[in-house]
Structure 1
Amino acid sequence: MSWDEELFAVLDDLEQQAEALYAAERDAELADRARAEYGAITLASRLMASVDEELTLGVLGVGRLAGTLLRVSKGWLLLSAGGSEWVVPLSAVASVGGASARSVPEVAWSPITRLGLGSALRRLSEAAEPCMVHLVDGSVHEARVSRVGADFAELSVAAGRVELVAFAALAAVRSRR
């Protein structure tokens, strides 16, 4: 082998080593970027990709709920389970089974999905239907939602008694639709 062939062989070897180092560095950078980007995905965006799917939710103060996810909105979801509809604040969702591996970023959501928990409770108030109101402490109230404030709901419970419930204490509201 001549000196120029040996030189080209050494240079080829160095080039292959450089390419291998670049590929390893690039793979590590891509993995780091993927982790960073996944850190921006919200539970709501994962649930939005799971609309019309069968899910199992672990809900604080309620336990496990299995049903079809009908809607996801800002701060709450609507689940059809066992002949009832459940309005569940996302803050009360402890776990989700069966969710899609995809996510839908909030910028792609319909303007209607930006309605908050108060809007869902106002719909129940307008319907004047009896509901089972579950709180995160495990207590349950049979009531009608009479009025809805900025961060609380006014419930009409037995014998004309009124009780105020903060949204933060709300685990789920089950209507009998």
Structure 2
Amino acid sequence: MTHDHDRRLATFLDELEQEASGAWTAERHLEVEERARAEYARVSLAARLMASCGQEIHLVVQDVGPLSGELVRVADGWCLIEAGGVSWLVLLDAVETARGVAPGAVAPEAWPVTSRLGLGSALRGLAGERAVLRLRSGSRVEGRVGRVGADFVEVHPDAGQPVVVAWSALAAVRR
């Protein structure tokens, strides 16, 4: 009888241990999922786009519409898309939707040094060139890119006075 009692006790203890192990595994799985969600909540659109450099992507940009082409560069607040000899400098906060984006992301620490160049650097790179500035209002300013200030760019149309465009008004620049 003692032997039978010991066996039942051992079986009971084994079952308890299995239940505890199962509960721990389930709890650990939930914790891992929660941590993954919390980590992913820190992934930016720029980080997803950085993982997509060199790929064909499709963006819908506020007051510009759909833009498709090869994603050439991603930097601080902007990206560069090229298609058919046309380059689009797109402000990331004007992007409404993106398709064709890589499923992964590149952490900002792993970005190339050139990706830290802000919008001012990109616009200074266009100085002297003709461009069409598409504004968030739906309007456009066309002309030669002139001086670039801390938060604005001058555009010299073919006739008339230069137009000063606030960066906050920009959605995209086509050159």
Q: With the length of structure 1 as denominator, give the TM-score of the two structures.
A: 0.95
Give the whole-Å Cα distance in 2 for the aligned partners of 1:61 and 1:157.
21
The code of the aligned residue for 2:124 comes to R
Q: Distance in 1 between matches of 2:15 and 2:169?
A: 66
The match for 2:150 is 150
Whole-Å Cα distance in 1 between the matches of residues 169 and 142 of structure 2? 16
Query: What is the CA distance between 1:83 and its match in structure 2?
Result: 2.1
- Structure 2 residue 165 is matched with structure 1 residue 165: yes
Match of 1:73 in 2: 75
* Cα deviation, residue 157, structure 1: 1.4
**Aligned AA (2:120):** G
Write the mapping of 1:118-137 to structure 2, written as runs, cut at 5 A: 118-125=120-127, 128-137=128-137
Q: How many residues align?
A: 173
Q: Which runs of structure 2 are paired with 1:35-46 in the superposition (5 Å)? A: 35-46=37-48
Q: For residues 71-92 of structure 1, what are the alpha-carbon distances to aligned partners after superposition, in whole Å with 9 as ceiling and x for unaligned?
A: 0001110000232000111111
Q: Distance in 2 between matches of 1:19 and 1:143?
A: 70
Matched position secondary structure for 2:68:
strand
Tell me the amino acid that sits aligned with residue 102 of structure 2. S
Aligned to 1:84, which of 86, 105, 113? 86
Q: Could you say which residue in structure 2 is the equivalent of 1:33?
A: 35
**Counterpart of 1:52 in 2: which secondary structure?**
coil
- Between the two proteins, what is the percent identity of the paired residues? 49
Task: Note the C-alpha offset of 1:141.
Answer: 1.9
SS of equivalent residue, structure 1 residue 2: helix
Which ranges in structure 2 are unaligned for 5 or more consecutive residues?
Answer: none
Q: How far apart are 1:158 and its partner, in Å?
A: 3.0
Distance in 1 (CA, whole Å) between partners of 2:114 and 2:121 is: 10
Q: What are the Cα deviations for residues 26-53 of structure 1, in whole angstroms up to 9, with x where unaligned?
A: 1111111011000111110110000000
Q: Unaligned regions of 5+ residues in structure 1, if any?
A: none
The corresponding residue for 1:62 is: 64
CA contact (8 A) 2:70 2:82 kept: yes
Using the alignment, how far apart are the partners of 1:67 and 1:34 within structure 2?
31
Q: TM-score, normalised by structure 2?
A: 0.96
